[in-house]
Chains A and B, each alone.
Chain A
Amino acid sequence: MSGYILRRLTQSVFILVGVTLITFVLLYALPADPARMIAGRSATVETVASIRAELGLDRSIAVQYGRFLSRLARGDLGRSYAQKVEVTELLASRLLATFWLMVGGIFFELLIGLPAGVLAAVRRRSALDRSVMLSSFLGVSAPQFVVGLLLLYALAYKWPVFPLGGYGTPAHLILPAVTLGIAGGGWYARMMRSSMLDVIHQDYVRTARAKGAGESRVVVRHALRNALLPVISMIGLDFGTFMGGVVVVESVFGWPGIGQLAWQAIQIVDIPVIMGVVMVSAVAILFGNLLADLVYPLLDPKIRYG
């Protein structure tokens, strides 16, 4: 097992380097000139040229990338073009908030999705099953902006149970996390239902007919364990995507997460910030998938990787 983890970590380093390289090349290919954006609208040609030289943007892409890597090795991600603040500081200021939103989001996704999925599977084709299906599709299809705004309007404005957006206390986390839960819960519900049915149906019905309710509960539990496998995959995926930032929810609720930072940086081509966010996101994705892969054998000991 530790050998497996070590191999994965080594592979992750290579993947990270690959991602940074591709991102760097893409940013280089964009038809936008960061020097010009910084220089602003009243700058002379000389000012733009000198800014470009100061930032090292007049060198070849190989030189620029080399510089990026060597600074990265020292833990230096450079300074944001727009805010002149160190990128590491910008990221650090938002990392904790992003982490909590990720935890809260996954929590509500599971809270909403898992019980609904189990019930829908056990009571297949009933009215409950159909309403769970409808709600799942509704939750997934509803734009997160609208859901968030409605939640704020109802539960923070008209009837002030929760704060009107912002960050700081657990109360601030509830509404944004619920919004994520509504958007993602439907996936968990449907997957749960689907994979439980794959195993449960035949055994469950047969056993229930033969032995009565008590035994069928054992079958349900067996199906549950089987169904949790894709759920674990999805949690791993959510870990990665949420840590990369969820810009819509962050915007509506004023949550100081990485998503807003990334979105603003992309608009103005703030290359150091974009690189920083891409790296954080990549690390989170690799980590999330690794965790999921490590959990599989715990759920199903017969799973082998090699």
Chain B
Amino acid sequence: MWSRVKRSPSAVFGLLVIGLLIAAAVFAPWVARNNPAEQFSDGLTIDGRPLPPNARFWLGTDLLGRDLFSRLIYGARVSLLIGVAANAAALSIGTLFGTVAGYFKGWTATVFMRFTDMMMAFPALILAIALAAILRPSLWIVALVIAMVNWVWIARIVYGQVLAISQREFIDAARVLGVPTSRIFWKHLLPHLLPTLLVWGTLGISTTVMFEASLSFLGVGVRPPTPSWGGTINESQSYFLEAPWLVAFPGIGILLTSLAFNLVGDTLRDAIDPTLRGRA
């Protein structure tokens, strides 16, 4: 499998990007040129406007005169954690629910899927505000809320997929024949679910990062002046026509991250794809 990954140029590129981003996040204090929270007096024009990219501030400054490059480097910590970890958590929970419901059907499915419906109908924003008020706002609450909210979509999709796959792959027959459940799951279900999970896992990074921004806006997540990619976009988007770099650069960051995971994931999926087994 690794040989396949190494041979694919796009996967290598993807891994490189992911590696760079993680390195930047971990070694932020050394990579960033300035303190991300420092509001420079000369970071704004005389009438208070942010500066476009220049020699001193590589990616320009934000609405408070802070170095955007430094903020994005530090922001990678928040956004990578949320975009990857919270998303992965949501993915796992959702897959579990959807698979169990689609596999066992009947009453199990009813209980699981109705519970899913209820969680979907449930006003997550209000839960987030209530949580932030009761507990101290932190990134973990954000991750928790995101995981709690996003798993429902995946659960529904996976449920439908498992129903169809079960028919196609004669899963019921396998059950009757006494094939162990774990074998059915790993050898027959998961390979067909993987493409779906990949799509949701990679596209989900973008939406999750933006969701974190909304939650932080409501006071649930990171507190100012802690930077995050989504937060920078959120606070600057109405200035888009005047200061597009404030949206473009974090946006590119989010795009690159989800693309990179997608490239790696695609190659991984090809490696596991049963229809390609044995082929070059």
Contact = CB atoms under 8 A, between A and B. Distances in A.
Q: Do chains A and B touch in the complex (CB under 8 A)?
A: yes
A143 interface: yes
Chain B contact surface mostly: helix
Contacts of B254: 141
A6 interface: no
A285 B106 contact: no
B82 to A, nearest CB: 15
Contacts of A29: 130, 133-134
Contacts of A15: 114, 117-118, 121
Given A133-B262, A140-B206, A145 B133 contact: no
A197 B191 CA distance: 12
Interface in A221-244: 226, 229-230, 232-234, 236-237, 240
Contacts of B237: 143, 145-146, 149
Contacts of B129: 30, 266
Interface in B220-269: 233-234, 237-238, 240-241, 247, 251, 254-255, 258-259, 262
A170 interface: no
A74 to B, nearest CB: 22
Given A29-B134, A141-B206, A232-B160, A282 B127 contact: no
Interface stretch (A19-27, A34-42, A76-84, A93-101): A19-27
Contacts of B125: 266
A196 to B, nearest CB: 10
A150 B163 CA distance: 42
B177 interface: no
Contacts of B233: 143
Given A226-B164, A274-B126, A197 B117 contact: no
A237 B262 CA distance: 23
Nearest to B152: A237
B48 to A, nearest CB: 21
Contacts of A153: 241
Contacts of A12: 117
Please classify how large the interface on chain A is, using the bins under 10, 10 to 19, 20 to 34, 35 or more.
Answer: 35 or more
A149 B262 contact: no
Interface of B: 105-106, 109-110, 113-114, 117-118, 120-123, 125-127, 129-130, 133-134, 153, 156-157, 159-161, 163-164, 167-168, 192, 195-196, 198-199, 202-203, 206-207, 210, 233-234, 237-238, 240-241, 247, 251, 254-255, 258-259, 262, 273, 275-276
Closest 6 CB pairs of A and B: A282-B121, A194-B195, A141-B206, A302-B167, A202-B275, A233-B160
